[in-house]
Amino acid sequence: MTSFTHNDALSIAAALTMPSRPFIGGDYRIATAGRSFKSVNPATGEVLAEIEGCSPSDVDAAVAVAKATFESGVWSQKHPSERKAVLLRFAELINKNLQELAVLESLDSGKPITDCLTVDVPFTASTIAWHAEAQDKLFSRIAPTDSNALGMIVREPLGVVGLVLPWNFPMLMAGWKLGPALATGNSVVLKPSQMTTLTALRMAELAVEAGIAAGVLNIVTGSGEVGEALGLHRDVRVISFTGSTEVGRMFLDYSRRSNLKRIVLELGGKNPAVVLADAPNLDFVAEQQAFSILTNMGQNCASNSRLIVHRAIKEELAEKIVAACGNWKLGDPLEPSTQLGPVVGANHCKNIKKYLEKGRAEGATLACGGNQLDRPGYFIEATVFDRVTPDMTIYREEIFGPVLTITEARDEDHAIELANDTEYGLTASLYTTDVGKAHKLSRRINAGTVSVNCYSEGEITTPFGGFKQSGFGGRDNGLEAHEQYTEVKTVWINLAAPARPGV
Ligand code: NAP
Ligand code: MG
């Protein structure tokens, strides 16, 4: 990727045609509400595109076409190997359009272009390919019975699947959900965040080009109102939601008020990195920690935003982390050497700044950063607060920005107590060179993923999701992801029914 230059990015950007309408029934469609919203480039504050927003009746139209294609069997009843072939073509087309999609994602979200080229776009493609490859190798089960019965346990697609996505990994979250939802034969209505709608629309075009039948993948555009219409729709069988805990709660209510659709929630996190006195090389730990809090400008539900460190090594590690954060290059996201771009938008930037003020006001020690940069766009410095205590707001609430808190632990038990002292439970890291402690303590941390001696969310092969208020109802990634989008059916056949005389 070293050959990709700033000028390449600029010339691709100049040639882009911005999608501007919802994608329903295999093509762009005029939204009926007659209103539009703006997609803004967070690096400049300039408007990138005006996109027509859907009304609840457009959501109805999208669900109706998804339901009709599901029932027609054009996708749901295809031979699994044919669905696989089409989805592999979809993944291939994403890779073929890598540079265009990466520039679009970077412009729309502020992500550094190198991340888009090496992570967001290729991982979206490989995730879809992985689920495509898996699904024609999954067998149903036969229950143990006596010889007079056959008990089959089969998995069936649900029907119309609603996917409601956040803005922090627009393409990758779409890939995490579209891969298993489509591979298992469902039809989909996807609502991207209104702040990052563009790549989802391009993906839908590529899906049709790959041969996914029109109406199997629909994109509805707009704000929370569109998510609400999807959440309340009686023909939607499951909503897989990734976003804030607050909006996640609303989806439970939409389900209660409508058809008791299944709700899968992947929500926020306030994840701890626990560093014990016998941690490995502290330069390495500092690099991992800087990566965890700064990648995607800290706008990552899985970032380790609370460092909990044994007091014997706290000063040394804090110094190294501040130095490591200082090495991250902030700048124009389309410049390939940039590692830190802007945060996603004006409101989010304002919100992060409130936390920066709160941290100072509540008595934390600012070790570095702490300000928005005086330049166009929404750039926040890499920030580390030291001497943070559990009563402080910055310790408790998800900031979703490049802001790390450091808290001292007296001993291992205290460290685990601090790690678990949160309403969230998405991910955690644990650093120790004692294999016994690694095993024992990783089991005592209440989180869906615990990485030991590194910062990692796992890979496509391992399930991802939260404990406590970080969510429930299913997992993304791994074969577990297929369970979100399928129903278990038992078919019980009596093999010894008495014959009817004469038949
Ligand atoms: P958000 O505000 O909850 O929005 C998520 C989605 O819900 C967006 O598409 C949003 O639409 C829609 N929405 C907003 N209000 C709604 C309503 N009243 N009814 C129905 N839908 C509604 O979250 P976000 O700010 O985009 O993303 C940040 C959050 O996501 C953080 O808390 C982060 O931790 C979490 N997250 C979790 C994971 C995970 O895997 N656990 C991954 C990534 C992010 P609009 O934005 O267009 O209005
Ligand atoms: Mg944008």
Nearest CA to ligand 1 atom 15: 224
CA distance 155 to 141: 9
Is the CB of 426 within 6 Å of ligand 1? yes
Is the CB of 448 within 6 Å of ligand 1? no
266 strand-pairing partners: 242, 471
CA of 440 to the centre of ligand 1 (A): 34
Is the CB of 166 within 6 Å of ligand 1? yes
Residue with the two structure tokens 């650093």? 431
Ligand 1 atom showing the smallest separation from residue 166 Cα = 26
DSSP conformation letters of 71-131:
HHTTTTTS-HHHHHHHHHHHHHHHHHTHHHHHHHHHHHH---HHHIIIIIHHHHHHHHHHH
Ligand 1 atom showing the smallest separation from residue 476 Cα = 40
pLDDT tens by residue, 182-209:
999 999 999 999 999 999 999 999 999 9
CA of 221 to the centre of ligand 1 (A): 14
φ, ψ for residue 422, nearest 5 deg = -160, 150
Burial group, residue 257, by CB count within 10 angstroms (0-12, 13-18, 19+): exposed
Catalytic-role residue among 54, 116, 301, 325:
301
In whole angstroms, how far apart are CA 153 and each of 9, 77, 137, 276, 491? 51, 18, 16, 46, 6
Q: Specify whether the CB–CB gap between 485 and 180 falls below 8 A.
A: yes
Is the CB of 348 within 6 Å of ligand 1? no
Nearest CA to ligand 1 atom 17: 224
Of 148, 159, 118, the residue nearest 296 (C-alpha): 118
User: Which ligand is in closest contact with the Cα of 263?
Assistant: 1
What pLDDT band is residue 345 in, cutting at 50, 70 and 90? very high
pLDDT tens by residue, 77-125:
999 999 999 999 999 999 999 999 999 999 999 999 999 999 999 999 9
Mean pLDDT of the residues in the chain: 97
What pLDDT, on a 0 to 100 scale, did the predictor assign at position 2? Answer: 56
Q: What is the mean pLDDT of residues 222-243?
A: 98
CA of 86 to the centre of ligand 1 (A): 30
Helix-helix angle 121-135:170-183, to 10 degrees: 10
DSSP conformation letters of 395-418:
HHS---SSEEEEEEESSHHHHHHH
Q: Which two tokens stand for residue 327?
A: 């090495």
Q: Which two tokens stand for residue 319?
A: 């110094």
Out of 242, 271, 426, give the residue to mutate to test ligand 1, the one with the largest number of ligand atoms within 8 Å of its CB: 242
CA distance 93 to 90: 5
Nearest CA to ligand 1 atom 35: 243
Query: Does the structure show a pLDDT above 70 at 427?
Result: yes
pLDDT tens by residue, 434-477:
999 999 999 999 999 999 999 999 999 999 999 999 999 999 99
Helix-helix angle 170-183:98-109, to 10 degrees: 120
What pLDDT, on a 0 to 100 scale, did the predictor assign at position 90? Answer: 99
CA of 361 to the centre of ligand 2 (A): 32
What pLDDT band is residue 498 in, cutting at 50, 70 and 90? very high
CA of 27 to the centre of ligand 2 (A): 22
Nearest CA to ligand 1 atom 42: 301
For residue 453, is it left (φ>0), alpha (ψ between -120 and 50) or beta?
Answer: left
Q: Estimate to the nearest angstrom the gap between the alpha carbon of 434 and the chain centroid.
A: 32
At residue 35, the 3 state secondary structure works out as coil
Is the CB of 167 within 6 Å of ligand 1? yes
Secondary structure in 3-state letters for 278-330 = CCCCHHHHHHHHHHHHHHHHHCCCCCEEEEEEECCCHHHHHHHHHHHHHCCCE
CA of 386 to the centre of ligand 1 (A): 29
CA of 105 to the centre of ligand 2 (A): 9
Residue type, 90: F
What pLDDT, on a 0 to 100 scale, did the predictor assign at position 287? Answer: 98
What pLDDT, on a 0 to 100 scale, did the predictor assign at position 503? Answer: 85
Length of the chain: 503
pLDDT tens by residue, 33-66:
899 999 999 999 999 999 999 999 999 999 999 9
Q: What is the mean pLDDT of residues 126-148?
A: 97
What single-letter DSSP state applies at residue 235? T
Q: What is the mean pLDDT of residues 363-368?
A: 98
Catalytic-role residue among 52, 205, 228, 266:
266
CA distance 291 to 86: 36
189 strand-pairing partners: 162, 218
CA of 108 to the centre of ligand 2 (A): 4
Whether the pTM exceeds 0.95: the reply is yes
Query: Does the structure show a pLDDT above 70 at 142?
Result: yes
Nearest CA to ligand 1 atom 46: 193
Is the CB of 193 within 6 Å of ligand 1? yes
Ligand 1 atom showing the smallest separation from residue 247 Cα = 3
CA distance 181 to 185: 7
User: What would you report as the CA-atom Rg of the chain, rounded to the nearest whole angstrom?
Assistant: 24
Q: How many CB atoms lie within 10 A of CB 226?
A: 26
DSSP conformation letters of 144-168:
---TTEEEEEEEEE-SEEEEE--SS
Query: Does the structure show a pLDDT above 80 at 1?
Result: no
Is the CB of 377 within 6 Å of ligand 1? no
* Nearby residues of 251 by Cβ (< 8 Å), 6 or more positions away: 164, 231, 239, 241, 263, 265
CA distance 305 to 455: 12
Is the CB of 269 within 6 Å of ligand 1? yes
Is the CB of 301 within 6 Å of ligand 1? yes
Out of 37, 59, 120, 168, give the residue to mutate to test ligand 1, the one with the largest number of ligand atoms within 8 Å of its CB: 168
Is the CB of 458 within 6 Å of ligand 1? no
Q: Which two tokens stand for residue 256?
A: 């209660």
User: Which ligand is in closest contact with the Cα of 342?
Assistant: 2
The answer to whether 454 is a known catalytic residue is no
Q: What is the mean pLDDT of residues 414-428?
A: 98
What pLDDT, on a 0 to 100 scale, did the predictor assign at position 191? Answer: 98
The answer to whether 325 is a known catalytic residue is no
